[in-house]
């Protein structure tokens, strides 16, 4: 990419897309192409075709997706499968037809089998059964990886994929029924402190292990891959370190300054027991995360509290 390249960031209002836009703007890229979902429905093939015909993007970051936490994934199973399949198929196919120079597709660590050996190496894809709570989303993301791989092999397109671990950062979703665990706990502890509530409910047993990456670190990895990675194999993006949901809850409780109790609601699902990424390949090309988990959570919490609202996305 050079500073005048036409760069389409699909999903620029979301947590990942907005972080990629911030990183591109900081580096002086001038010709960013963006559309809100009200302006362009990426699930609609004619609308996506028109965008590519009109704007002729040279580079595409495919960060648009229907995303959510364990409950949203488990409840809106059809939407997670349909919306993501349509977005990926439309954008990747139009990128091929319009001779996009390079496309980066964003997947997710839930593509790996539920009981795969840890840490998760890229080659464990499709070696076992998926976690049930997010199987439709995972199948959609695996399809995205296979679209990228297939357009490369059949048509020689320079399309690549990145698989981020669980993410957090600015522009996250704070709707407690749809969000991921980290924003949910920030909001729950903040509310409990403000209202002097005696306890906070944590879903599941607290024993599942999760890895968390600040989205600004992910954006750096995406720009690096766009600049200097041209291989077929997708790359894991994570910190290589995880912690239990109970330990995450204790960390957030301390950061917020809440003094009540934790209560585990075991009627809620745990999801996959562990999904720790092996990040040796992305590290070998020169990327490492810079933001520690506690610093990142403090930063996000200060930003959200300063705005005085926890934004709920549809």
Positions marked active-site: 137
DSSP sequence for the chain: --TT--EEEETTTSHHHHHHHHHHHHTT---EE---TTT--TT-HHHHHHHHHHH--SEEEE-------HHHHHHSHHHHHHHHHHHHHHHHHHHHHTT-SEEEEE--GGGS-TT--SSBPGGGTTSSPPPGGGHHHHHHHHHHHHHHHHHHHHH---EEEEEE-EEE-TT----TTTS-HHHHHHHHHHHHHHTT-SEEEEES-S--EE-EEEHHHHHHHHHHHHHH---SS-EEES-S--EEHHHHHHHHHHHHT--SEEEEETTS----SB--B--HHHHHTT----S-HHHHHHHHHHHHHHHT--PPP-
User: Chain-centre distance of CA 197, in angstroms?
Assistant: 32
Size of the chain, expressed as the number of residues it contains: 314
- What is the nearest approach in angstroms of ligand GFB to the Cβ of residue 39? 26
Q: Which of residues 51-80 bind ligand GFB (CB under 6 A)?
A: 69-71, 73
- What is the nearest approach in angstroms of ligand GFB to the Cβ of residue 210? 5
From the list 53-61, 176-184, 286-294, 305-313, the region that binds ligand GFB by CB under 6 A is 176-184
Judged by CB under 6 A, the residue of 5, 89, 270, 285 near ligand GFB is 270
> Can you tell me the distance from the alpha carbon of 115 to that of 124, in angstroms, rounded to the nearest whole number?
10
Q: Is 71 or 87 the residue whose CB approaches ligand GFB more closely?
A: 71
Q: Does 271 bind ligand GFB (CB under 6 A)?
A: yes
Q: Does 119 bind ligand GFB (CB under 6 A)?
A: no
- What is the nearest approach in angstroms of ligand GFB to the Cβ of residue 132? 10
Q: Is 90 or 179 the residue whose CB approaches ligand GFB more closely?
A: 179
Copy the structure tokens of residue 302. 């200060």
From the list 87-95, 155-163, 204-212, 295-303, the region that binds ligand GFB by CB under 6 A is 204-212
Judged by CB under 6 A, the residue of 31, 268, 274, 298 near ligand GFB is 268
Judged by CB under 6 A, the residue of 63, 86, 110, 235 near ligand GFB is 110
Q: Does 276 bind ligand GFB (CB under 6 A)?
A: no
Phi, psi at 224, each rounded to 5°: -60, -45
Determine if residue 126 is left, alpha or beta; phi over 0 gives left, psi from -120 to 50 gives alpha, anything else beta.
left
- Residue with the shortest CB distance to ligand GFB: 69
Judged by CB under 6 A, the residue of 12, 102, 210, 214 near ligand GFB is 210
Q: How many residues bind ligand GFB (CB under 6 A)?
A: 25
Q: Is 51 or 277 the residue whose CB approaches ligand GFB more closely?
A: 277
Phi, psi at 140, each rounded to 5°: -60, -45
Q: Does 184 bind ligand GFB (CB under 6 A)?
A: yes
From the list 36-44, 131-139, 220-228, 292-300, the region that binds ligand GFB by CB under 6 A is 131-139
Q: Is 108 or 239 the residue whose CB approaches ligand GFB more closely?
A: 108
Q: Is 24 or 71 the residue whose CB approaches ligand GFB more closely?
A: 71
Judged by CB under 6 A, the residue of 29, 137, 258, 287 near ligand GFB is 137
Q: Does 140 bind ligand GFB (CB under 6 A)?
A: no
Site for ligand GFB, rule CB under 6 A: 69-71, 73, 108-110, 133-134, 137, 166, 179-181, 184, 202-204, 208, 210, 245, 268-271
């Amino acid at each position: 990419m050079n500073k005048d390249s036409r760069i389409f960031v699909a999903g620029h209002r979301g947590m990942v897309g907005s972080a990629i836009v911030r990183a591109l703007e900081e580096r002086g890229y001038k010709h960013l192409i963006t559309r809100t979902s009200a302006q362009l429905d990426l699930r609609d093939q004619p609308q996506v075709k028109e965008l590519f015909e009109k704007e002729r993007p040279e580079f595409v970051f495919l960060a648009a997706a229907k995303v959510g936490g364990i409950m949203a994934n488990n409840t809106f199973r059809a939407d997670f499968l349909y919306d993501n399949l349509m977005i990926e198929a439309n954008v990747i196919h139009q990128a091929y037809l319009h001779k996009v120079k390079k496309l980066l597709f964003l997947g997710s660590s839930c593509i790996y089998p539920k009981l795969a050996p840890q840490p998760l190496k890229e080659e464990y894809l499709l070696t076992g059964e998926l976690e049930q709570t997010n199987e439709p989303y995972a199948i959609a993301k695996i399809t995205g990886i296979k679209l990228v791989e297939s357009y490369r092999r059949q048509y020689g397109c320079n399309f690549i994929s990145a698989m981020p671990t669980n993410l957090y950062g600015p522009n996250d979703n704070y709707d407690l029924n749809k969000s991921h665990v980290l924003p949910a706990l920030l909001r729950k502890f903040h509310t409990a402190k403000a209202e002097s509530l005696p306890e906070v409910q944590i879903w599941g047993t607290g024993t599942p292990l999760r890895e968390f990456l600040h989205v600004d670190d992910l954006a750096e990895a995406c720009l690096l891959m766009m600049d200097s990675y041209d291989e077929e194999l997708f790359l894991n993006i994570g910190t290589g370190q995880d912690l239990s949901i109970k330990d995450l809850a204790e960390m957030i409780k301390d950061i917020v300054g809440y003094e009540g109790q934790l209560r585990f609601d075991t009627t809620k699902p745990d999801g996959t027991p562990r999904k720790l990424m092996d990040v040796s390949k992305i590290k070998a090309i020169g990327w490492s995360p810079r933001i520690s988990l506690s610093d990142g959570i403090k930063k996000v919490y200060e930003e959200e509290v300063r705005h005085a609202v926890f934004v709920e996305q549809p």
